[in-house]
């Protein structure tokens, strides 16, 4: 079964916002065995939307559309649906009641005509009730294609996908299985990996596909199997990964189903009842922010000192001034002191510290742009590594954060 | 002139990664008057890519494609280009030299066959030299459409777009003008704004388009004008915005061209030679991370204490224990103390503090989920506001960060 995901909105086409909805929907469909054939972003123009709907009809079995359901004049998805399905808008009483409740109860103001129009839906649509906002989703069919329209606001879209649409799709469609498993490797380039695993790759059966996903400092190897026997596919993938460990096991830090490494760390450290603190300089809060974006962080994360200025490293973190004067602020000695001080101040089991020069200009140090030191304080002591992450700034910060997570992950695994 | 942006890669279609390249390219094209008609993500399958190229030929004048240029077997863009353009691959000597330099000089290992293949390009292509990596870009034409292929690695793609492609497009094409200006409003819902500016909106000339861009806690109003007289379009938009200020001036915090509010703050605070520190609890480092992602932060940003645990607020930030015991950790008294302590510890002019309950579970406080207090310490004193940002977690954190930036922006503007 194949789907196309469509986002509507000029803000995407002029690059004002990044479309994150399509990725979320694709992942949800993938989990239930529906393959996304294409993703498409189109403008707020009626003709463009109509042309898109016509083109997709009978080409895929499912079209999921986000955007254009707001209360303002630039939102035209509902009217366009009426044209395409030769339908008219009617007032949905349950939605109207909910809109009233939200506007009058939550925002404490009288409901207006514009608000009321949120409760209008095409008469032939199955209304997908949206608990999280005023715009309902809609489910309509034309010949062999189901068209689903959802609001573009991410948390409303997510609610409808998870709670309403996925259960309904599972109920109403026969789907085959798609099994993915991604092997995370760190510290070796993709071309070198490709050479080393060439024989293994050539021996994969034709229903298993391999993809290389390089990003700063790491390469993920994704295996995808498609077929009808989910258990069989899973076993086959597990066996292939076991073989892979024999070839490049030294650079593999684990496998990932849906899990970013920060989630894996969060689970691991929580299960081991250990605590963590951080002292970030060049990464500027990104390590802490990535961890605290996951709920439950308060059970292991004590806190962080973002010591961006040199004075902060001395006065607040307590790094000895002599150390900085002797070795410079971007050095092994300073990063290790930062980690130890953080561990001590926060009374945590582990502490990560970063210091470096992310560029494009040199800051409080003469270190080459791209130089980053990362230290890890553990219950047994402290160690650090020096890296050069090149340029530009976003790559340096991104690689430093990934590398910090890698060091931490390997360390916690040992215990 | 119209363009379509295509990304190639199964990792996008299964939701494993979010496509950020298309947005970057669209913004760059928009600036030079090239409108993006559609964005499209397709699979790594040769047939699918070929079908896409054929469909786009003569439909738009420009197609920019990213992805599928890596050294591994799943990268098939070059071979597919050869099929589509009836061409063959030849070795480009300049690219080969560069690949050798990168592999042997930077990675310190001998060049392999796989590496060498990076220097193969279709014989009819204009090679776009990629200083940042081993895969060059390619510029090819078929009838009325220019096809450009770029590597998918974001910093390589960005380099080629900014340094090579945009200058070449400016040189080789006649383009009309697109002028955008976005008005940032905070604290009022889009439907209420739409009612209040209805007459103004109806009076816009037909070459100016208005879009509402709501996100947690703010609504941006984007005006887009298209035509040939860039100066005239700019003046017209300025005049319309002046009228808008008369109607809803109290909720407008400024206009944005390309600038997120954190960039505006960074510029403003730097120009006024003031300094900032932060004490983040529920926002977990996101305020600091947003500011330090912009280079030059070290000139005004002193640092932050992420006091996630209650003990951290007491022991490190120095919030009096009695205050927390009397008023609870999520309270006006505690957030104001956090801001004042941060200001004092870091010796900064301004300090922002956040404390709240982002959910989904309650942490160290009994406060309702979604409750957030934000305080701002200024050279004159401290004040705070209480908010309820609802659910889920990502919305609470996002709204809190936006609101903190809004308060800070308004405060610095006053001086």
User: And the tokens for B309?
Assistant: 């645990």
Distance from C-alpha of A304 to C-alpha of A275, rounded to nearest angstrom: 12
Nearest to B145 by CA among B63, B32, B83: B63
Query: 3-class secondary structure for chain A?
Result: CEEEEEEECHHHHCCCCCCCHHHHHHHHHHHCCCEEEEEEEECCCHHHHHHHHHHHECCECEEEEECCCCCCCCCCHHHHHHHHHCCCEEECHHHHHHHHHHHHHHCCCCCCHHHHHHHEEECCCEEECCCCCCCCEEEEEECCEEEEEECCCHHHHHHHHHHHHHHHHHHHCCCCEEEEEEEEEECCCHHHHHHHCHHHHHCCCCCEEEEEEEECCEEEEEEEEEECCHHHHHHHHHHHHHHHHHHHHHHEEEEECCCCHHHHHHHHHHHCCCCEEEEECCCCCHHHHHHHCCCCHHHCEEEEEECCCHHHHHHCCCCCHHHHHHHCCCCHHHHHHHHHHHHHHHCCCEEEEEEECCCCCCCCCCCCCCEEEEEEEECCEEEEEEEECCCCHHHHHHHHHHHHHHHHHHHHHHC
**Which residues fall within 8 angstroms of residue A10, CB to CB, at 6 or more apart?**
A43, A44, A74, B209, B211, B222, B224
Percentage of residues in chain B having pLDDT higher than 70: 99
Asked if the model's pLDDT at residue B258 lies above 60, the reply is: no
Closest CB to A285 among B304, B358, B364: B304
Q: What is the mean pLDDT of residues B375-381?
A: 96
Q: Mutate one of A72, A163, A184 to test the B interface: name it (highest B CB count within 10 A).
A: A72
Q: What is the mean pLDDT of residues A324-334?
A: 95
User: And the tokens for B382?
Assistant: 């401290």
- Residue numbers in A near B118 (CB within 8 A): 191
Q: Name the band, by pLDDT with cuts 50, 70 and 90, for residue A235.
A: very high
CB contact under 8 A, B394 and A155: yes
Q: What is the helix, strand, coil percentage profile of chain B, to 5?
A: 45, 25, 30
Asked if the model's pLDDT at residue B402 lies above 90, the reply is: no
What region does A221 belong to: left with phi over 0, alpha with psi -120 to 50, or beta?
beta
Nearest to A356 by CA among A268, A252, A279: A279
Closest CB to B40 among A40, A107, A298: A40
CB contact under 8 A, A302 and B309: yes
- Residue numbers in A near B212 (CB within 8 A): 70, 72, 74-75
pLDDT tens digits, residue range B136-190?
A: 999 999 999 999 999 998 989 999 999 999 999 999 988 888 888 999 887 788 8
Percentage of residues in chain B having pLDDT higher than 90: 65
Q: B2-172 with B177-256: one CATH topology?
A: no
Pairing of strands A371-378, A350-356: antiparallel
Closest chain B residue to A304, measured at CA: B306
Q: What is the mean pLDDT of residues A256-282?
A: 87
Closest CB to B295 among A30, A286, A360: A360
Nearest to B199 by CA among B146, B240, B254: B240
Angle in degrees, 0-180, between the axes of helices B261-271 and B393-414, rounded to the nearest 10 = 30
Query: How many CB pairs below 8 Å do chains A and B form together?
Result: 312
CB contact under 8 A, A288 and B278: no
Residue B16 near residue A181 (C-beta atoms within 8 A)? no
Could you say which architecture CATH assigns to the domain A177-256? 2-Layer Sandwich (3.30)
CA end-to-end distance (rounded Å), chain B: 45
Distance from C-alpha of B144 to C-alpha of B128, rounded to nearest angstrom: 20
Mean pLDDT of chain B: 91
Enter the DSSP assignment of B392: -
Query: Does a cis peptide bond (omega within 30 degrees of 0) precede residue B360?
Result: yes
Q: Write down the pLDDT at residue B380.
A: 95
Asked if the model's pLDDT at residue B392 lies above 60, the reply is: yes
Q: What is the mean pLDDT of residues A302-312?
A: 91
Closest chain A residue to B131, measured at CA: A391
pLDDT tens digits, residue range B194-209?
A: 999 999 999 999 899 8
Q: Write down the pLDDT at residue A258.
A: 54
CB neighbour burial string for A247-257, b if at least 16 within 10 angstroms, e if fewer: ebeebbbbbbe
CB contact under 8 A, A40 and B35: no
Highest mean pLDDT among A212-216, A372-376, B104-108: A372-376
Q: Name the band, by pLDDT with cuts 50, 70 and 90, for residue B260.
A: confident
CB contact under 8 A, B73 and A201: yes
Distance from C-alpha of A213 to C-alpha of B11, rounded to nearest angstrom: 8
Distance from CA of A380 to the nearest CA of B (A): 23
Q: Write down the pLDDT at residue B186.
A: 79
- Residue numbers in B near A23 (CB within 8 A): 12, 15, 17-19
**Which residues fall within 8 angstroms of residue A231, CB to CB, at 6 or more apart?**
none
Nearest to A405 by CA among A217, A221, A241, A190: A217
pLDDT tens digits, residue range B94-139?
A: 999 999 988 887 777 788 888 899 999 999 999 999 998 889 999 9
Closest chain B residue to A313, measured at CA: B303
Asked if the model's pLDDT at residue A88 lies above 70, the reply is: yes
pLDDT tens digits, residue range A137-185?
A: 999 999 999 999 999 989 899 999 999 999 999 999 888 888 889 998 8
Enter the DSSP assignment of B73: T
Q: Name the band, by pLDDT with cuts 50, 70 and 90, for residue A364.
A: low
Distance from C-alpha of B211 to C-alpha of A17, rounded to nearest angstrom: 13
Asked if the model's pLDDT at residue A259 lies above 70, the reply is: no
Q: What is the mean pLDDT of residues A67-85?
A: 89
Q: Write down the pLDDT at residue A298.
A: 86
Our CA dihedral for B66, B69, B74, B76, rounded to 10 degrees, sits at 90
Nearest to A150 by CA among A121, A173, A123: A121
CB contact under 8 A, B23 and A11: no
Closest CB to A308 among B27, B301, B307: B301
CB contact under 8 A, A284 and B305: no
Q: Mutate one of A132, A204, A209, A303 to test the B interface: name it (highest B CB count within 10 A).
A: A303
Q: Write down the pLDDT at residue A252.
A: 84
User: And the tokens for A194?
Assistant: 């490709």
Element (H, E) at B111: none
Nearest to A40 by CA among B10, B27, B37: B37
ipTM metric: 0.71
Closest chain A residue to B158, measured at CA: A392
- Kindly report the CATH number that applies to the domain delimited by B261-414: 3.90.950.20
Strand ranges in B241-312 using DSSP code E only, listed in sequence order: 252-256, 276-280, 301-306
Beta bridge partners of A361: none
Q: Mutate one of A191, A208, A248, A287 to test the B interface: name it (highest B CB count within 10 A).
A: A191
Distance from C-alpha of A146 to C-alpha of A388, rounded to nearest angstrom: 51
- Residue numbers in B near A9 (CB within 8 A): 211
Asked if the A2-172 domain carries CATH number 3.40.47.10, the reply is no
Q: What is the mean pLDDT of residues B230-238?
A: 93
pLDDT tens digits, residue range A28-68?
A: 999 898 999 999 999 989 999 999 999 999 999 999 999 98
The residue with tokens 């008219």 is A88
Domain ranges of chain B: 2-172, 177-256, 261-414
| Residues counted in chain B | 415
Q: Name the band, by pLDDT with cuts 50, 70 and 90, for residue B243.
A: very high
Distance from C-alpha of B347 to C-alpha of B341, rounded to nearest angstrom: 9
Asked if the model's pLDDT at residue B363 lies above 70, the reply is: no
Q: Name the band, by pLDDT with cuts 50, 70 and 90, for residue B308.
A: confident
* Secondary structure of residue B19 in the 3-state scheme: coil
CB contact under 8 A, A23 and B42: no
Distance from C-alpha of B71 to C-alpha of A191, rounded to nearest angstrom: 6
CB contact under 8 A, B180 and A14: yes
Q: Write down the pLDDT at residue B7.
A: 97
Residue B346 near residue B277 (C-beta atoms within 8 A)? yes
- Residue numbers in A near B27 (CB within 8 A): 14-16
Asked if the model's pLDDT at residue B282 lies above 70, the reply is: yes
Closest chain B residue to A342, measured at CA: B316
Residue B403 near residue B260 (C-beta atoms within 8 A)? no
CB contact under 8 A, B307 and A303: yes
User: And the tokens for B315?
Assistant: 């022991």
Distance from CA of B144 to the nearest CA of A (A): 21
**Which residues fall within 8 angstroms of residue A194, CB to CB, at 6 or more apart?**
A201, A212, B71, B72, B73, B114
Closest chain B residue to A12, measured at CA: B23
Closest CB to A346 among B115, B312, B393: B312
Q: What is the mean pLDDT of residues B57-84?
A: 92
Q: Name the band, by pLDDT with cuts 50, 70 and 90, for residue B257.
A: low
- Residue numbers in A near B25 (CB within 8 A): 15
Q: Name the band, by pLDDT with cuts 50, 70 and 90, for residue A249.
A: confident
CB contact under 8 A, A35 and B44: no
Residue A62 near residue A148 (C-beta atoms within 8 A)? yes
- Residue numbers in B near A44 (CB within 8 A): 211
- Residue numbers in B near A40 (CB within 8 A): 38-41
CB contact under 8 A, A210 and B73: yes
């Amino acid at each position: 079964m194949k789907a196309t995901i469509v986002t509507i909105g000029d803000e995407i086409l002029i690059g004002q916002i990044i479309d994150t909805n399509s990725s979320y929907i694709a992942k949800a469909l993938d989990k239930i065995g529906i393959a996304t054939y294409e993703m498409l972003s189109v403008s707020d123009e009626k003709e463009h939307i109509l042309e898109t709907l016509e083109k997709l009809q009978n080409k895929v079995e499912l079209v999921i559309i986000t955007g254009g359901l707001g209360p303002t004049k630039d939102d035209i998805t509902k009217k366009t649906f009426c044209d395409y399905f030769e339908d008219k808008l009617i007032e949905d009483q349950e939605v109207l009641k909910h809109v009233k409740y939200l506007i009058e109860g939550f925002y404490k103001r009288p409901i207006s005509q514009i608000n009321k129009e949120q409760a209008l839906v095409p008469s032939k649509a199955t209304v997908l009730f949206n608990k999280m906002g005023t715009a309902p989703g809609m489910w309509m069919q034309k010949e062999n294609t189901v068209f689903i329209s959802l609001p573009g606001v991410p948390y409303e879209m997510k609610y409808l996908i998870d709670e309403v649409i996925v259960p309904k799709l599972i109920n109403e469609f026969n789907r085959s299985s798609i099994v993915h498993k991604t092997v995370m490797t760190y510290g070796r380039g993709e071309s070198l990996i490709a050479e080393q695993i060439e024989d293994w790759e050539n021996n994969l059966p034709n229903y298993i596909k391999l993809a290389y996903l390089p990003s700063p400092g790491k390469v993920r190897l994704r295996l995808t199997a498609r077929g009808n026997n989910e258990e069989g596919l899973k076993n086959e993938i597990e066996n292939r990964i076991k073989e892979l460990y024999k070839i490049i096991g030294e650079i593999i830090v684990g496998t990932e189903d849906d899990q970013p490494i920060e989630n894996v760390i969060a689970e691991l450290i929580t299960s081991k009842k250990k605590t963590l603190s951080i002292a970030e300089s060049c990464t500027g809060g990104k390590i802490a922010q990535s961890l605290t974006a996951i709920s439950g962080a308060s059970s292991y994360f004590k806190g962080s000192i973002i010591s961006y200025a040199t004075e902060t490293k001395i006065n607040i973190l307590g790094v000895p001034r002599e150390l900085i004067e002797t070795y410079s602020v971007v050095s092994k000695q300073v990063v290790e002191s930062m980690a130890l001080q953080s561990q001590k101040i926060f009374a945590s089991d582990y502490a990560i510290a970063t210091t470096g020069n992310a560029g494009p200009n040199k800051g409080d140090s003469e270190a080459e742009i791209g130089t980053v030191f990362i230290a890890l304080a553990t219950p047994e002591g402290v160690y650090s590594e020096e890296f050069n992450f090149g340029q530009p700034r976003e790559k340096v910060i991104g690689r430093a954060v990934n590398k910090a997570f890698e060091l931490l992950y390997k360390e916690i695994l040992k215990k």
